[in-house]
C-alpha cells in the first residue's frame, strides 16, 4: 500500500527533549547556505542496538526569518519497516492508528515529542505507493521484467534516465518529480546496498531471504511521488484534491488509484499487442485483418511487421533507435499512432497470464505477508513475536 513517506511539521508544533545525558543523538549540521541551514538527527547507539527501525529526522531552519515559525521538521520513514522491520510485509488501512503510535514512540526515543493529532494532520511532501506482486504459473520476475523492458517509454520520462539494472532484475523510469520502479524483490534482498533498489534493508529483512526463496516470485511495483507539486498534480487528476495530510494519503482507495493510473497509462494501455500470445507472422496478419477488415493488404503487412519488430530484441526502444536515423521524431510518433490503434483493435486477444496477474493484484488489494517464523512461540490463540501477530 505505502512504503516511504515524508512528513513536514512546523517546529512550534513539536517539543524537543534535552536528553543529552542519556546519550540521545543530537542535531548535526549537514549543509548551510545564505538564509538556510539543514540539520539531521540520528538514533543513538543504544537505539540502534535494539534492532528497531527509526525514522530519519531533518531540521530546516530559515535563518532570515529569525524565529521558530521559520523552522520545519521533516520526518522520512518506511511505514512497513516501522511495524514489521521489513517492507515485504504490507500494511492495510486499519494499521494507521498503530503506525502513528509507533512513529510517535520512535521519535520520542530520539528526543522529539509530537502529538498524535499533529502527526495525523502533518503535511505530506513525498510518498511512495507500492505493491508486492506474487507471480504464479511458473513466471519469474526476471522474465516479466524482460517483457516489460520492451515497452515504448512515455515521452514524459527522459529516455536517458530509464535504467535496466542488475542484469534485467529492475526497471526504473525516473524524473526528479516522480518515478515508476519495477524490480525483483527477492533478488534485491541479497544485493549490497550500493546495488540494491532498497538501500535500507537491515539484518532482519535480509534474513527473510531463506524463507522466501522457495516461494512464488515477488515482483515489486512502486510509484514514487517525490515532489509535492507532482503529488498535488496526481491527486488532483484523480479527483482527490491537493495538499494531502498523512491521514489522507494513507488510504487504500488512493493507493490503488495512483498505482493503477501509472500501470494503465505507462504500460498496459498501449501494450496489449506487445504482450499478446505469441503468434507467427501469418497468424498475426490474419488477426490484424479480422480486427480491421478495411485495411488494404499493404497496410496489413506494414502493421504485421511493426508488431513483430516490437516483440523482438529490445523491442520498440531498439526500433526507435534504428528508425530515427532515417527520419525524425514526428515520423516515429506517426508510427506509434498506428501501433496504438492496432493494439486497441487487437485487445480482444487474451493477454499473457502474468499481465493479468499484475493488473488483478493492483486492483484487488490483498496485503502481502511473509511466512511466520517457526522459531516464534505459539502458546496462545494469538501472540506477538518480532513485531508480528501470529494466529494459531
State the residue for C-alpha cell 510509484.
223
Assess if residue 210 is contained within a domain.
yes
Q: Which residues of the chain register pLDDT less than 50?
A: 21-23, 68, 159-161, 166, 209, 372-392
Q: Specify the pLDDT at position 379.
A: 35
**Distance (Å) of CA 283 to CA 277, 350, 388:** 11, 15, 53
Assess if residue 93 is contained within a domain.
yes
Assess if residue 198 is contained within a domain.
yes
Residues 251 and 342 in one domain: no
Q: Specify the pLDDT at position 167.
A: 57
Domain termination site, one of 251, 270, 289? 270
b/e burial code for range 178-202 (CB count within 10 A of at least 16 → b): bbbbbbbbbbbbebeeeebbbeebb
Q: Specify the pLDDT at position 160.
A: 42
Domain termination site, one of 270, 305, 328? 270
Instruction: Output the pTM of the full model.
Output: 0.76
How buried is residue 67: exposed, middle or buried, by Cβ count under 10 Å (0-12/13-18/19+)? exposed
Assess if residue 363 is contained within a domain.
no
Q: Specify the pLDDT at position 377.
A: 36
Assess if residue 264 is contained within a domain.
yes
Residues 205 and 322 in one domain: no
Residues 250 and 294 in one domain: no
For residue range 52-103, list pLDDT tens digits in order.
999 999 999 886 655 545 789 999 999 999 999 888 899 999 999 999 999 9
Residues 180 and 234 in one domain: yes
Assess if residue 367 is contained within a domain.
no
Q: How many whole angstroms separate alpha carbon 209 and alpha carbon 189? A: 6
Contact 312, 239 (CB under 8 A): no
Torsion over CA: 238, 243, 249, 251 (sign) = negative
Residue 183 grid cell: 524490480
Q: How many whole angstroms separate alpha carbon 11 and alpha carbon 18? A: 15
Structurally, how many domains does the chain consist of?
2
Residues 287 and 264 in one domain: no
How buried is residue 212: exposed, middle or buried, by Cβ count under 10 Å (0-12/13-18/19+)? middle
Enclosing domain of residue 345: 281-350
Q: Specify the pLDDT at position 66.
A: 52
For residue range 9-21, list pLDDT tens digits in order.
999 999 987 655 4
Residues 253 and 287 in one domain: no
Residues 76 and 190 in one domain: yes
Residues 335 and 294 in one domain: yes
Amino acid at each position: 500500500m505505502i512504503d516511504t513517506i515524508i512528513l513536514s511539521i512546523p517546529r512550534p508544533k513539536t517539543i524537543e527533549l534535552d536528553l543529552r545525558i542519556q546519550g540521545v543523538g543530537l542535531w548535526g549540521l549537514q549543509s548551510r547556505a545564505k538564509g538556510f541551514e539543514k540539520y539531521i538527527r540520528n538514533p543513538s547507539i543504544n537505539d540502534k542496538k535494539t534492532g528497531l527501525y527509526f525514522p530519519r529526522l531533518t531540521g530546516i531552519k530559515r535563518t532570515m526569518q529569525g524565529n521558530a515559525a521559520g523552522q520545519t521538521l521533516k520526518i522520512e520513514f518506511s511505514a512497513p519497516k516501522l511495524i514489521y522491520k521489513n517492507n515485504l510485509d504490507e500494511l492495510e488501512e486499519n494499521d494507521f492508528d498503530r503506525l502513528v503510535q509507533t512513529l510517535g514512540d520512535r521519535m520520542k526515543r530520539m528526543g522529539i515529542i509530537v502529538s498524535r493529532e499533529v502527526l495525523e494532520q502533518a503535511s505530506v511532501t513525498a510518498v511512495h505507493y507500492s505493491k508486492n506482486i506474487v507471480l504464479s504459473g511458473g513466471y519469474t520476475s526476471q522474465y516479466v521484467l524482460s517483457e516489460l523492458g520492451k515497452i515504448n517509454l512515455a515521452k514524459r520520462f527522459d529516455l536517458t534516465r530509464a535504467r535496466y539494472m542488475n542484469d534485467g532484475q529492475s526497471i526504473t523510469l525516473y524524473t526528479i518529480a516522480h518515478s515508476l520502479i519495477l524490480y525483483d524483490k527477492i533478488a534485491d534482498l541479497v544485493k549490497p546496498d550500493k546495488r540494491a533498489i532498497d538501500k535500507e534493508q537491515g539484518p532482519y529483512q535480509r534474513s527473510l531471504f531463506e524463507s522466501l526463496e522457495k516461494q512464488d516470485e515477488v515482483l515489486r511495483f512502486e510509484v514514487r511521488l517525490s515532489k509535492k507539486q507532482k503529488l498535488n498534480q496526481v491527486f488532483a487528476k484523480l479527483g482527490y484534491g491537493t495538499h494531502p495530510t498523512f491521514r489522507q494519503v494513507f488510504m487504500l482507495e488512493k493507493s490503488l488509484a495512483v498505482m493503477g493510473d501509472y500501470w494503465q497509462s505507462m504500460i498496459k494501455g498501449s501494450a496489449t499487442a506487445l504482450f499478446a500470445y505469441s503468434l507467427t507472422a501469418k497468424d498475426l496478419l490474419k488477426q490484424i485483418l479480422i480486427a480491421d477488415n478495411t485495411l488494404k493488404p499493404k497496410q496489413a503487412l506494414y502493421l504485421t511487421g511493426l508488431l513483430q519488430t516490437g516483440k523482438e530484441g529490445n523491442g520498440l526502444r531498439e526500433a526507435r533507435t534504428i528508425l530515427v536515423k532515417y527520419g525524425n521524431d514526428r515520423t516515429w510518433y506517426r508510427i506509434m499512432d498506428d501501433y496504438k490503434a492496432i493494439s486497441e483493435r487487437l485487445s480482444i486477444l487474451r493477454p499473457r497470464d502474468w499481465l493479468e496477474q499484475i493488473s488483478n493484484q493492483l486492483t484487488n488489494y490483498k496485503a502481502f505477508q511473509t511466512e511466520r517464523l517457526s522459531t516464534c512461540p505459539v502458546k496462545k490463540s494469538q501472540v506477538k513475536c518480532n513485531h508480528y501477530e501470529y494466529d494459531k
